[in-house]
Structure 1
């Protein structure tokens, strides 16, 4: 977790990793696909769904964001949809980095990437920094932050930053780090606001929906996976597996509805 205590160390680590990340981003942005330029997050989702098997599934664990691994010739990516939407968005870009740049490591059966909270671990800092640079455009950030400071000059810095969340749909702390990294705020200012309880002080014109989980359930290409898995199975075994899957899915959907009712 990013806090006042580790923020300065985090920014120094970011500074050392930025040249590598920006070089990789430059290569990606040479792709003429209009989707990449207009909707970068949707571009990431589309690429991953086209080239890997994506599983969207809620996991009730605050520090677990997702997982990417390789098995039997396929890449599998799990996105935890039990986390707030802004974190889920960030995780799509995070796992895209692993899928794109760690493919050879992932083919090693003993190697996988699971995002937890190793905030100063360079192996996880690279994809985190990539996600930030990919999803937060510098020009848009400068323009929107300047507007927020001017239009809401009587508000605190923390509230001015909160107002950026709907534009970028990324976590509050990612915006604090990015603003400090781009020297739009000082390190001392960033330290003062990074631990702010932003959930409790949302302006009336900022929707709380981005801070809630979607709890989406999607098993990508399930029928294709089932066709591959059922080769050599007896009919009775296959029916038993299908019945068990249907039963588990029914329980999960019921749990999902209970969670929604509790919001």
Structure 2
């Protein structure tokens, strides 16, 4: 398993960001031009629009570390989002998966799993996701009048719909590379590994919409099955459409079992 990003390796993460920043910004700009012809202004809705046009399956899986996956079978790539995770993680995972779907040529395994906690070897995808979601977090952070550091971070999470660590990494990068803000860096290092356990309670305490930090539990296979059947009927001589359909049915059975297990556990 790759190393999880913690306060101890945060400086290494920023060094990695410096090396890939130009490439990531280029991909961010390309994504906005290539996919946002409808001018969707909400980053989370934009991400799900892209994924739904590319075979997205949404399903709840009771695994606190599992954010989603990309299943690869021949020419077919199916992104999966775990809707048992809080929405704030779903949105980030969505952009993470978009990077792998369109810009990662190294995905060849049948399943590429996306963890909720950030891993160093996923830096390119995570940095891409952060840049699709986050704006000028540093200025917004200092525009807040809250004296409590955690309260400010929670409000940043709310505005940008971004996970705790994603907000802190971006703030740390700006504090280190742009503003030489040693006080902010110290606060981030002291709190990086201590995300509040009860995010719902913190959101409610600050008068924020806590739906962002709750799961959606959506189960939706989209229109992938209809499109595969249409391709089979339209091109009966092409065998890989039939293979894709068999693979899809296998995925569907797996998804169904996961949902049944979840329902049983919640009785």
Please give the TM-score of this superposition, normalised by the length of structure 1: 0.76
For structure 1, which runs of at least 5 residues remain unmatched after alignment? 233-241
Tell me: CA distance 1:196–1:72, structure 2 relative to 1, closer, same or farther (3 Å): closer
- The alpha-carbon deviation at position 256 of structure 1 amounts to 4.7
Tell me: CA distance 1:160–1:180, structure 2 relative to 1, closer, same or farther (3 Å): same
1:158 equivalent in structure 2: 150
Contact conserved, 1:55 with 1:78, CA < 8 A, in 2?
A: yes
> Is it true that 1:171 corresponds to 2:163 in the alignment?
yes
2:259 equivalent in structure 1: 252
> Is it true that 1:119 corresponds to 2:115 in the alignment?
no
2-structure distance, mates of 1:84, 1:229: 37
1:10 equivalent in structure 2: 13
Greater mean alpha carbon deviation, residues 1-10 or residues 59-68:
1-10
Greater mean alpha carbon deviation, residues 83-92 or residues 216-225:
216-225
Contact conserved, 2:61 with 2:259, CA < 8 A, in 1?
A: no
1:237 equivalent in structure 2: none
2-structure distance, mates of 1:224, 1:111: 21
Please give the TM-score of this superposition, normalised by the length of structure 2: 0.75
Contact conserved, 2:66 with 2:82, CA < 8 A, in 1?
A: yes
1-structure distance, mates of 2:226, 2:61: 23
1-structure distance, mates of 2:134, 2:221: 29
2:244 equivalent in structure 1: none
| CA shift digits 1:103-132 (9 cap, x unpaired) | x444x4x465321356111xx110001000
For structure 2, which runs of at least 5 residues remain unmatched after alignment? 240-248
1-structure distance, mates of 2:35, 2:97: 22
- The alpha-carbon deviation at position 7 of structure 1 amounts to 2.0
Equivalent residue in structure 2 for 1:205, among 183, 202, 207: 207
> Is it true that 1:187 corresponds to 2:205 in the alignment?
no
| CA shift digits 1:225-256 (9 cap, x unpaired) | 46778999xxxxxxxxx9xx79x849836945
2:31 equivalent in structure 1: 28
Tell me: CA distance 1:223–1:111, structure 2 relative to 1, closer, same or farther (3 Å): closer
- The alpha-carbon deviation at position 67 of structure 1 amounts to 1.2
> Is it true that 1:98 corresponds to 2:100 in the alignment?
yes
